[in-house]
Structure 1
Amino acid sequence: MWLMIIFLGLGIGLGLLSDFSIPALYSNYLSLAILAAFDTLLGGIRAHFEHVFNQFIFVTGFFFNITLAIFLTFIGAQLGVDLYLAAVFAFGWRLFQNIAIIRRRILDRWQQQKTLKKKSQSTLSIEKSKLIDK
């Protein structure tokens, strides 16, 4: 999981440091590809938290989502319809769902650790009182 976050940070850093511009003609394609990539990244993080992460599914899903998003944008441009908006809606919906689930998993783990810490502290205090009573 940390490898994905490291490379995401590296990619963002290189993007901000470079003087590379995308022509306006391709802005819809790139924005949708980035949205699809974020959707896949958050889906991978969610799968990691649920202990069902599969690297093959992650990589194939990454390329399939990007390809599908670009294809929808291309078909929509050829037809004169803003078909990419359907992909923006779908990927945006999934992004918010994955973020909500990841947030819940993190908070659940944090609360479990907090509860375990309290239990271990109370167990130690009980054991100390037993030793003192003897």
Structure 2
Amino acid sequence: MIAFIGLLVGILLGLLVDINIPNAFSPYMSVAILACLDSVFGAMRASISKNFQADIFLSGFFGNAILAAGLAYLGDKLGIPIYIAAVIVFGGRIFNNFAVIRRLMIEKARSHKRGD
């Protein structure tokens, strides 16, 4: 629940505050944001499954963002678009987590409807 509230606050701040990111930093920011979203969806999945751990979430949130931005930077220096690999991996994980969250929510709604 905390991750969901944080996501909503972040979206609201993003819509209300006008921050311009230079084009040179766009690949770094895009993979960092995807990495953070991956962590948020993972936290939502863990919360629904009743095994959320804040330290795991925080280490994944910041660790994934730094690693993804670092890989994008390394790829930029080498002239290889490594950030695309991070986009594919994090994108796949986000969709996978969303699918699991959706299934868990449907199962929870069904069991609530039956009165379990």
Q: Deviations over 1:50-89 (max 9, x none)?
A: 1211111110111110011011101100100000000000
Q: How many residues align?
A: 116
Q: Quick check: 2:28–2:72 contact (8 Å CA) kept in 1?
A: yes
2:108 aligns with 109
Q: Which residues in structure 2 correspond to 1:18-57 (within 5 Å)?
A: 18-57=17-56
Unpaired runs of 5+ residues, structure 1, are 118-134
Alpha-carbon shift at residue 97 of structure 1 (Å): 0.4
Aligned counterparts of 2:18 and 2:90: Cα–Cα separation in 1? 28
Taking only the aligned residue pairs, the percentage that are identical comes to 43
Alpha-carbon shift at residue 19 of structure 1 (Å): 2.3
Alpha-carbon shift at residue 101 of structure 1 (Å): 0.1
1:19 maps to a residue whose letter is D
Aligned counterparts of 2:71 and 2:27: Cα–Cα separation in 1? 11
Q: TM-score, normalised by structure 1?
A: 0.83
Q: Which residues in structure 2 correspond to 1:1-134 (within 5 Å)?
A: 1=1, 3-116=2-115
Larger RCO (alpha carbons 8 Å, 6+ apart)? 2
Aligned counterparts of 1:81 and 1:94: Cα–Cα separation in 2? 23
Comparing 16-25 with 85-94, greater Cα deviation is found at 16-25
CA RMSD of aligned residues (A): 1.1
Q: Quick check: 2:28–2:69 contact (8 Å CA) kept in 1?
A: yes
Greater gyration radius: 1
Aligned counterparts of 2:37 and 2:105: Cα–Cα separation in 1? 19
Aligned counterparts of 2:83 and 2:47: Cα–Cα separation in 1? 29
1:4 maps to a residue whose letter is A
Q: Deviations over 1:3-57 (max 9, x none)?
A: 2222222221122122221000001111111100000000011111112111111
Unpaired runs of 5+ residues, structure 2, are none
